């Protein structure tokens, strides 16, 4: 099996997703848009992961490759490929499916809880009732048509969604490891201004190893869910 990921900036990579993919037997390939906008042959990939980035999905004038990226995401979903979007990646899925993406009422940066939304659907991923996760976003999205809302937070109503059986968008970061958190702080420190849902650099970086383990384990659960959905559907 082949997993392909879209990376938008050097400091937002796969994180804990990489080790899960390798343990699960995936060959990993990538498009790094800050180097090249060459896209893979859709027929050759079994899983698409769309990472985060500081740009907006609406910045097509500054980043013309966003147009082709969104079209590729739409094509992947239309072909029933499992797709996982993280932060900007979730916004790109929403935009590709025709939903609006725009500034949230507040920025959410640091460790804050999300709250899972109960669903009766067996083919819908179930989040914990509450878990503290890592955030770094200033925009939000409308839910795409037919999407199921999976999680929310006090600062942002739409934190996670699922479309069909094998497309999940996360506004937050579950793949983050300590080095990745440090890299985000280093590259985006100017956003750390006093605000109700923005932590200080010290607060962000002082979280415990157990907290990273908790979110990385939840990321693994989501990936396993998507893989199970793919195998069940015979995709």
Contact (Cβ atoms closer than 8 angstroms) between residue 45 and residue 84: no
Q: How confident is the model at residue 156 (pLDDT cuts 50, 70, 90)?
A: very high
Q: What percent of the chain has pLDDT over 90?
A: 94
For residue 122, the model assigns a pLDDT of 66
CA dihedral 44, 49, 52, 58 (to 10 degrees): 60
CATH architecture assignment, domain 2-233: 3-Layer(aba) Sandwich (3.40)
What are the pLDDT digits (tens) for 33-56? Answer: 999 999 999 999 999 999 999 999
For residue 234, the model assigns a pLDDT of 59
For residue 119, the model assigns a pLDDT of 79
The C-alpha atoms of residue 159 and residue 130 are separated, in whole angstroms, by 12
**Better pLDDT: 49 or 123:** 49
The C-alpha atoms of residue 87 and residue 140 are separated, in whole angstroms, by 9
What are the pLDDT digits (tens) for 170-215? Answer: 999 999 999 999 999 999 999 999 999 999 999 999 999 999 999 9
Which residues on adjacent β-strands are paired with residue 173? Answer: 134
Contact (Cβ atoms closer than 8 angstroms) between residue 219 and residue 134: no
Residue 159 has pLDDT above 70, yes or no: yes
- Average pLDDT in the chain: 95
Q: What percent of the chain has pLDDT over 70?
A: 97
Count CA atoms within 13 Å of residue 209 on its CB side. 0
The C-alpha atoms of residue 27 and residue 44 are separated, in whole angstroms, by 11
Domains of the chain, by residue range, sit at 2-233
The C-alpha atoms of residue 186 and residue 163 are separated, in whole angstroms, by 34
Give, to the nearest 10 degrees, the angle between helix 209-233 and helix 16-23: 40
For residue 120, the model assigns a pLDDT of 73
- 228 token code pair: 């199970």
- 127 token code pair: 């989040």
- 160 token code pair: 């996670």
Contact (Cβ atoms closer than 8 angstroms) between residue 117 and residue 127: yes
The C-alpha atoms of residue 205 and residue 30 are separated, in whole angstroms, by 28
What are the pLDDT digits (tens) for 98-114? Answer: 999 999 999 999 999 99
């Amino acid at each position: 099996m082949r997993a392909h990921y879209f990376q938008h900036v050097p400091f937002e990579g796969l994180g804990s997703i990489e080790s899960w993919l390798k343990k699960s037997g995936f060959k990993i390939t990538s498009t790094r848009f800050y180097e090249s906008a060459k896209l893979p042959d859709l027929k050759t990939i079994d899983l698409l992961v769309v990472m985060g980035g500081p740009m907006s999905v609406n910045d097509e004038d500054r980043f013309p490759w966003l147009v082709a990226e969104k079209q590729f995401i739409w094509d992947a979903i239309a072909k029933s490929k499992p797709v996982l979007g993280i932060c900007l990646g979730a916004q790109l899925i929403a935009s590709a499916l025709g939903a609006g993406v725009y500034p949230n009422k507040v920025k959410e940066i640091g460790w804050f809880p999300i709250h899972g939304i109960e669903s009766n659907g067996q083919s819908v991923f179930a989040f914990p009732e509450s878990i503290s996760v890592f955030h770094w976003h200033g925009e939000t999205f409308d839910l795409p048509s037919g999407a199921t809302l999976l999680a929310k937070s006090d600062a942002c109503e739409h934190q996670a969604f699922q479309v069909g059986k094998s497309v999940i968008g996360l506004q937050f970061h579950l793949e983050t490891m300590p080095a990745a958190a440090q890299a985000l702080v280093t590259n985006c420190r100017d956003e750390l201004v006093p605000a109700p849902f923005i932590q200080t650099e010290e607060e962000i970086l002082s979280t415990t190893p157990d907290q990273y383990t908790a979110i990385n384990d939840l990321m693994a659960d989501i990936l396993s869910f998507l893989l199970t959905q793919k195998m069940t559907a015979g995709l």
